[in-house]
């Protein structure tokens, strides 16, 4: 299960997150079209592509697009990628041609917000996936209030951690991005099925791993509180 093995990513991401001053796009222009890559399977994956529409102007301060990745293919060609809610055995990736825009305000009256560092975005996505898994397990044990509430407690502890990160960096986008990702995963049927399989239907071992994950995340935030 992904959140079993990705605590190191979260530790690196939270402990090292600083706002980089190097030139980073604040928005992207597109031609309004994209492909949604849907891959299923473990090891050998089967992928299909679905055409879809996207905005012709994407502002990265919009929490939905804040985790967008770009890759320069040539001097005149850039590709953008955005992970979509899926699951452990289902991966969904939005792919499209894009043109970077620098220091573009969302509207004439808005100031320019600094881009969110990639390492912090990865940490938020990591925690959102863990929280969604905890909520799936809470639902799985809906007939056992004690166990269900303990799973829910893990999810609430991560939410509180992200809330403190948002206050620390004075950036409301962090909590919005986290909530959008968590909710998208939690409401995905594929993610629910994959999470149950990956956790051994919320086994005792997965419960212990969840507890360790939350404790490590909290200890990292405490250690980095003075950054």
Q: What is the pLDDT of residues 1-27, one digit of tens each?
A: 454 444 434 433 444 444 444 467 888
pLDDT for 29 beyond 50: yes
Residue 221's pLDDT is 66
Q: 90: which strand partners?
A: 40
Of 116-120, 147-151, 160-164, 205-209, minimum mean pLDDT range: 116-120
The whole-number average pLDDT for the span 73-78 is: 87
CA distance linking residue 44 with residue 226, whole number of Å: 45
Phi, psi dihedrals of residue 124, rounded to the nearest 5°: -65, -45
DSSP code at position 22: S
CA distance linking residue 227 with residue 122, whole number of Å: 18
The whole-number average pLDDT for the span 36-47 is: 82
pLDDT for 104 beyond 60: no
Summarised one tens digit per residue, pLDDT across range 199-214 is: 999 999 999 999 999 9
Of 41-45, 91-95, 119-123, minimum mean pLDDT range: 41-45
pLDDT over 90 for what percent of the chain?
Answer: 35
pLDDT for 161 beyond 50: yes
Confidence of residue 225 (pLDDT cuts 50, 70, 90): low
Phi, psi dihedrals of residue 109, rounded to the nearest 5°: -90, -5
Confidence of residue 90 (pLDDT cuts 50, 70, 90): confident
CA distance linking residue 36 with residue 50, whole number of Å: 5
Mean pLDDT over each residue of the chain, to the nearest integer:
81
Residue 167's pLDDT is 87
CA distance linking residue 178 with residue 183, whole number of Å: 9
**CA 18 to chain CA mean position, Å:** 18
Residue 170's pLDDT is 84
Confidence of residue 51 (pLDDT cuts 50, 70, 90): very high
The pTM of this model reads 0.63
């Amino acid at each position: 299960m992904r959140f079993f093995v990705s605590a190191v990513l979260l530790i690196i991401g939270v402990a090292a997150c600083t706002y980089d001053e190097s030139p980073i796009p604040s928005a992207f222009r597109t031609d309004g079209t994209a492909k949604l890559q849907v891959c299923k399977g473990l090891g050998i994956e089967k992928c299909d592509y679905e055409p879809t529409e996207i905005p012709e102007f994407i502002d990265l301060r919009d929490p939905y697009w804040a985790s967008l990745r770009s890759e320069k293919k040539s001097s005149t060609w850039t590709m953008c990628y955005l992970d979509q809610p899926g699951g452990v055995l289902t991966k969904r990736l939005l792919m499209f041609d894009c043109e970077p825009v620098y220091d573009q305000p969302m509207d004439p009256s808005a100031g320019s917000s600094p881009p969110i560092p990639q390492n912090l975005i990865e940490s938020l996505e990591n925690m959102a996936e863990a929280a969604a898994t905890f909520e799936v397990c809470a639902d799985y044990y809906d007939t056992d209030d004690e166990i269900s509430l303990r799973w829910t407690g893990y999810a609430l502890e991560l939410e509180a951690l992200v809330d403190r990160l948002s206050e620390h960096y004075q950036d409301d986008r962090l909590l919005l991005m986290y909530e959008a990702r968590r909710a998208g995963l939690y409401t995905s049927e594929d993610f629910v099925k994959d999470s149950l399989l990956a956790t051994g239907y919320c086994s005792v071992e997965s419960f212990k791993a969840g507890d360790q994950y939350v404790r490590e995340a909290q200890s990292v935030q405490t250690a980095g509180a003075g950054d």
